Chains A and B, each alone.
Chain A
Amino acid sequence: MNRSNAEYKKYADSHAKPSPIVANCIKAFFIGGIICTLGQLLFLVYSGLGMAENNARALVSVSLIFLAVLLTGLDLFDNIAKVGGAGTLVPITGFANAVVSPAIDTKAEGWILGVGAKLFTIAGPVILYGTLASVIYGVVYYIVTLVMGMI
């Protein structure tokens, strides 16, 4: 039986399992939504205690990071991440998990080049490119406000 590549692809696609993308998206939506709702709840509590908006937001981040680190240490985070996918990755919990997970697993390589270095496997690029973008934006913002001031 001779089939062109395009025909074969069509045949293979029609017999492949239905794409799990819709199911993945629904799960990501709910898990991600729940994590953000928890963040909003904590924000309301901290604001209610009289904290300024900036500080309350910072403490929300700290709280969610603490929770994610704890769940990672107890080996529970991966179970949630398996279901949540991007729903656990995208909130700050995913960042915290990406910081602590390689650190715990490289203890055997020592405290300097194991934990100390691997802690930044994901945090390194995130902090580097985020900070870089903010510096570029800062320079642009400086120039724009300067020009606006002259007009």
Chain B
Amino acid sequence: MEIFTGLLKAFVVGGLLCVIAQILIDKTKLTPARILVTYVVAGVALTGLGVYQPLVDFAGAGATVPLTGFGYTLAKGVEKAVTETGLLGAITGGLTATAAGITAAMTFGFIASVVFPSRPK
């Protein structure tokens, strides 16, 4: 039962974060690239303000899988690194914490461009 409510919370919160972006796209003509950048920066800001952690505690992947979650990981990484190494952590923390996602995207992306044929436009 607990698993089911966890999945439901992830579904609803993740879905709502997508709906906000859909409204922005339909109402403001923001391009997808701008939406992604906005979401990541918003994730960093909301985590810094202490708003995003409660959402992660509540919704799990519903809050971490959307791109705001990428910002959350960046901010959490910086907090940890600053606590451990001081000001240098402000430089190292973000990319250290997000290395898995960034490296996976680059590696799989490259392999895919080797394996799969270009698609006609």
Contact = CB atoms under 8 A, between A and B. Distances in A.
B26 A21 contact: yes
A130 B71 CA distance: 6
A7 interface: no
Interface residues of chain A: helix, strand, loop or mixed (majority):
helix
Contacts of B115: 73
Given A75-B119, A96-B108, A100-B113, A24 B100 contact: no
A137 B44 contact: yes
Contacts of B17: 32, 90
A28 B119 CA distance: 26
A103 B10 contact: no
Given A130-B40, A133-B40, A138 B94 contact: yes
Given A36-B62, A134-B78, A87 B108 contact: no
Interface in B27-71: 27, 32-33, 35-37, 39-41, 43-45, 47-48, 59-62, 64-67, 69-71
Contacts of A66: 104, 108
